[in-house]
Amino acid sequence: MQKIYEALTAGFRRNEGYLSVASYERIVRKHGSFLEDFDTIFILLQASGYPIMEVDGRYRLETFFTTYRQQRYCVIDIETNGSKPETAQVIEVGAVILQNGEIVDRFESFVECAFLPEYISKITGILPEDLLNAPTQLEVLSKLRVFMGDAIFVAHNVNFDYGFLNYSFDRFGLGTIGNQRLCSIELARRTIESERYGLAYLSETLDLGVHTQHRAFSDALVTSRLLELTFQNLPPYVEMADDLLRFSNSSRKERTLIKLESKKDEAP
């Protein structure tokens, strides 16, 4: 499904946020290997968190038409008992929904786990007894899937959290994650001057509040505060949520060219 998400997004961006039915079907046919009909795939896309809607006989990418302030962000952090999802599992999840500068919802849970290496306990402060009677992986991941909705998935070093959860969701029959993703490290590098961009360092130097390192909810909360701070330093051309996503992945050369184009448009 990941190839479909990426191809659809590229198509939407080439066409000002819209795709005709024919274009949508062509992309899905080219990048998918499904037996389902196109309407069923559309339902699966929405269920995965991909922000697609059908409006007036066309398909629309919602982040293209939502301001970055109005956009919902699911800021997530996970703790795990190992680095690879093939041989490890999530042991704690913390997440907040951020919208219009406010936290509008929150989620946190330990996850049942029978094996917790001692070094993980030392890093996180999580003990084996914290996990023995915790909700199962399927229970927590299912609730997290609903909690995320179609919000933009945000994490500090997003590829780890997104990749680990994507593998875990698929493993438990919850499908892959279609939510668009935003890395707070990459966004901070483009908006904040700092010697280092680790979450602990930024939390201390930027005074982002009380922070218990390597605990999922605390890390997610601090990341949400960092996200709000980066918003204060965005260039004027970032208006919509899709602008923000592209800006977070842009090169210095791309940003310079956009600034030059903006100055040309402003010139009398």
Each residue's pLDDT, cut to its tens digit, for the chain (268 residues) gives 899 999 999 999 999 999 999 999 999 999 877 667 888 899 999 999 999 999 999 999 999 999 999 999 999 999 999 999 999 999 999 999 999 999 999 999 999 999 999 999 999 999 999 999 999 999 999 999 999 999 999 999 999 999 999 999 999 999 999 999 999 999 999 999 999 999 999 999 999 999 999 999 999 999 999 999 999 999 999 999 999 999 999 998 888 877 767 665 665 6
- Please name the helix (run of DSSP H) or strand (run of DSSP E) that holds residue 23, with its range, or none: helix 21-31
Task: Return the exposure string of 62-73: e unless at least 16 CB atoms fall within 10 Å of the residue's CB, then b.
Answer: bbbbbebeebbb
Closest by CA position to 71, among listed 210, 235, 243: 243
Distance of CA 234 to the CA centre of its chain: 19
What residue ranges do the domains of the chain occupy? 2-64, 73-231
Q: Which residue has the tokens 């939502």?
A: 66
Q: Indicate the class that CATH gives domain 73-231.
A: alpha beta
Q: Are 251 and 124 in contact (CB under 8 A)?
A: no
pLDDT computed for residue 169 by the predictor? 98
User: 196: helix, coil or strand?
Assistant: coil
250 Rama class: left (phi>0) / alpha (psi -120 to 50) / beta = beta
Q: Are 115 and 81 in contact (CB under 8 A)?
A: yes
Architecture per CATH, domain 2-64, reads as Orthogonal Bundle (1.10)
| pTM, entire model | 0.94
